[in-house]
Structure 1
Amino acid sequence: MPVLRSGPLAAWANAHLAGRVGIDQVVDAVTGRDAAHRVESLPDGGATLLDLLTAWRRDGGPVRCALPVAGDVRGLAGPATYRSAALVAGEAVATAALGAVPDVVDYAPSSNPSAVTWQVFALEPAPADHLSVADAQYELTGAIRESASALAAAQVAQPLPGDDALHAARRAGERVNLPPGFPQRAVTLLAQAERIAAIVDLALVDPLGGAVDRIGIGDRDAALRPLATAARRARMAAYNATAGLP
């Protein structure tokens, strides 16, 4: 499962705007093992992550991430170029005035660090798409239950391939990147959503997954897609849990 950059940036940036962490802590936490992040097209000509955070501070925040997919672009404002870039990346992060989309070049299996460039866009005013942690948890719990029932009914609830890959997917929730003092309910939701998203991604790698014909394959995909959507929405709600909080 791809590593998100927008979610951690939103969470850490809001912690900085609230005075809970320093700006250098945000840069270090978001950069992680990547090479130093670059920024392009900031109105003031800045080219670093620190410059982007400073611009967001001038805007007054809050900062929110979006995880769009085709058919679901909730959380994205205009212009069209920003929405298109965010759809290609599968993620974006923004205040009301400035959005940024990461372009990630991953050199794996090389030991070279990933290169990340944030493309900045001036945004048009738009209402925020707020999903509470409680609502996202409710949706995810329901999707887990319904997907399990649908897979069992379609008789395609087979074990996932690859013990090592499955073990790694189940441990995905241990790698959440959130600032200190983050709401515990959001931490718990994000950990669960990361595990579910990783397991669904792994399941979708197997084109059959226990299905023996085209109908079975369609039933399996139909059972997994709502779960993938709920996990994606839960990740977004968790990362945005402190957006706008004092």
Structure 2
Amino acid sequence: MQLTSAPLVAWGNAWLSGHVGLDDAVDAVERRGGPNLIGTVPADDLPFDSGAPLRTALVRLRGLDLSVFRLALPTWGDPFGLVGPKELNQAALEAQEGVLLQLADTQIGLVPTADRRGSSYAGVSWTPYRATNTPPQIPGLAEAEQRLKLALIEAGRTLEGITDIAGFEPGVHEELGTLEAHQAPPLAHGYPPRAHRLAAQAERLARVIALAGPASGRGMTGGQAEERRRALHTLDMAVRRAHVAAHAAI
């Protein structure tokens, strides 16, 4: 699960809570995704022109009493972390991620897209949307941790004995190890150790789910393939909730 939104939420919250400076937060976000540009919404809801650099946008948003960054990781059939309206939800569902910014008297949603220009420029473009001014329902660390544990146990029991249990192609285990070796910590300074552990576990399991991919079908009945799909889907839901809970725990 290569999330564009997660670094902005983690380092944005670390900046707002005084654990890192603005320059360090922006550098950390852009080190992972390249230059970040934030657009504007109609009716001058944000005090900058379309395509403002991240540093400029954050300073001006702070002037609007920006108080928290919230991570949203929705998927079709499970709009987790979203609050509406329809336009924001649709865009975030297509991207399968987004960020909610709580300002003094309103909430703004940001949805990322890859910003590529030519062969050498790669960054992130954020499209803002008006968001319903209601906090999303986010589980606490303990609840998310327990749900992830139960989903992992259930997946293990369901998949036990099914041929082609993981659906991995040759060499995927080595690829997963390489990814982990070069993985930056999911969270920023200031988050509690329990949140760091949960985020790291969720990140690992998200990569396992992604690398598992669709079952090849070799040696499995149609019923076994469906059981496998459901087990991985349930685990994915728990992983996304763990990610969001960890990123909210500061």
TM range, smaller chain: 0.7 to 0.9
Q: Which residue of 1 aligns with 2:210?
A: 201
Q: Could you tell me how far 1:113 is from its partner in structure 2?
A: 5.3
Q: Which residue of 2 aligns with 1:14?
A: 13
Q: Could you tell me how far 1:105 is from its partner in structure 2?
A: 4.7
What is the percentage of aligned positions where both structures have the same residue?
A: 33
More strand by share: 2
Is 1:161 the counterpart of 2:166? The answer is no
Which consecutive segments of 4 or more residues in structure 1 shift more than 6 A? none
Query: Is contact 1:8–1:239 with CA below 8 Å preserved after alignment?
Result: no
Query: Is contact 2:144–2:241 with CA below 8 Å preserved after alignment?
Result: yes
Q: Distance in 2 between matches of 1:89 and 1:120?
A: 13
> Secondary structure in 1 aligned to 2:33?
coil
Q: Which residue of 1 aligns with 2:86?
A: 80
Q: Could you tell me how far 1:194 is from its partner in structure 2?
A: 0.7
CA offset digits 1:91-148 (Å, max 9, x no partner): 11112322111112579xx984532100112222113322111111101111111100
> Secondary structure in 2 aligned to 1:201?
helix
Question: Given the superposition, is the C-alpha separation of residues 177 and 212 from structure 1 closer, same or farther in structure 2, using an over 3 Å criterion?
Answer: closer
> Secondary structure in 2 aligned to 1:32?
helix
Q: Distance in 1 between matches of 2:131 and 2:149?
A: 34
Q: Distance in 2 between matches of 1:111 and 1:145?
A: 45
Query: Is contact 2:138–2:244 with CA below 8 Å preserved after alignment?
Result: no
Q: Distance in 2 between matches of 1:75 and 1:158?
A: 28
Question: Given the superposition, is the C-alpha separation of residues 158 and 178 from structure 1 closer, same or farther in structure 2, using an over 3 Å criterion?
Answer: closer
Q: Distance in 2 between matches of 1:225 and 1:61?
A: 33
Q: Which residue of 2 aligns with 1:39?
A: 38
Query: Is contact 1:169–1:198 with CA below 8 Å preserved after alignment?
Result: yes
Q: Could you tell me how far 1:88 is from its partner in structure 2?
A: 0.9
Q: Distance in 2 between matches of 1:34 and 1:220?
A: 33
How many aligned positions are there?
Answer: 237
Which runs of no fewer than 5 residues in structure 2 stay unpaired? none
AA partner of residue 242 (structure 2): A
Q: Distance in 1 between matches of 2:202 and 2:219?
A: 25
Decide which moves more: 131-140 or 31-40. Answer: 31-40
Give the counterpart of 2:67 among 51, 54, 61.
61
Which runs of no fewer than 5 residues in structure 1 stay unpaired? none
Q: Which residue of 2 aligns with 1:50?
A: 55
Q: Could you tell me how far 1:238 is from its partner in structure 2?
A: 1.0
Question: Given the superposition, is the C-alpha separation of residues 15 and 105 from structure 1 closer, same or farther in structure 2, using an over 3 Å criterion?
Answer: same
Q: Could you tell me how far 1:167 is from its partner in structure 2?
A: 3.0
AA partner of residue 240 (structure 2): R
Q: Distance in 1 between matches of 2:60 and 2:194?
A: 30
Q: Distance in 2 between matches of 1:156 and 1:206?
A: 7
Q: Which residue of 1 aligns with 2:136?
A: 128
1:17-28 equivalences in 2 (<5 Å) = 17-28=16-27
Q: Which residue of 2 aligns with 1:190?
A: 199
Question: Given the superposition, is the C-alpha separation of residues 202 and 61 from structure 1 closer, same or farther in structure 2, using an over 3 Å criterion?
Answer: same
Question: Given the superposition, is the C-alpha separation of residues 103 and 160 from structure 1 closer, same or farther in structure 2, using an over 3 Å criterion?
Answer: same
Query: What value does the CA root-mean-square deviation take over the aligned residues?
Result: 2.4
Q: Which residue of 1 aligns with 2:146?
A: 138
Give the counterpart of 1:89 among 66, 71, 95.
95
Q: Which residue of 1 aligns with 2:248?
A: 240
